[in-house]
Amino acid sequence: MMSMAMEQVAHTKRYKLRVDADKNRLYFSLRGSGKDASGCADCIREMQAALRRMPAGFTALTDFTRFQQISPEWMEPLFNIHQMLITAGVSKEAEIHPSDIVLCMQLDSVAQHSGIDRQIFADRDRAEAWLDGEDRQPSRFLVVGTR
């Protein structure tokens, strides 16, 4: 269920960025080909604007289920986004991954280099429940990508 305090920060063909003040949560989803680096700079700029609205201790849900394999041009922006989340004071980050093992390995590499502490989920409901503190056992569907 969407909160009444949900505010859309950005919505492009490449990504969507929303903030839920009631849940103190940032929602970020990427879609399309990770081989097309168009929009990276705008995405970083809009992420910075969204994070300025978030008090420390916020949670984040990132959805990669509509994203395809990552080009080298997207690796650095994704690393930077993780670093921005950490610097802004994210308390928990849940990522929803597709079944594409290559993309999952790429995302795991980015996360390992950035140092972000996150849990990986196969579906949004379990990710939301974990972020809400209702699900103490994350549904890790892959060995890679969990920390």
Q: Which CATH number goes with the domain that contains 97? A: 3.30.750.24
What are 122-137's pLDDT values in tens digits? 999 999 999 999 866 5
Rounded-to-integer distance, Cα 34 and Cα 45, Å: 18
pLDDT band at 108 (very low <50, low <70, confident <90, very high): confident
Domain containing residue 105: 6-131
> What is the predicted pLDDT for the residue at 142?
42
**pLDDT tens-digit profile of 13-67?**
889 999 999 999 999 998 877 666 677 888 999 999 999 999 999 999 999 888 8
Mean pLDDT for the stretch of residues 78-90: 93
Assign 68 a pLDDT band (cuts: 50, 70, 90). Answer: confident
Cα angle vertex 54, ends 95, 123, to 5°? 20
Is 142 among the domain residues? Answer: no
Let me know if residue 138 belongs to a domain: no
| Tally of CB atoms within 10 A around 94 | 23
Q: Is residue 145 part of a domain?
A: no
Phi first, then psi: give them for residue 90, nearest 5 degrees: -60, 135
Domain count, the chain: 1
pLDDT at position 145 over 50: no
* 86 lies in some domain: yes
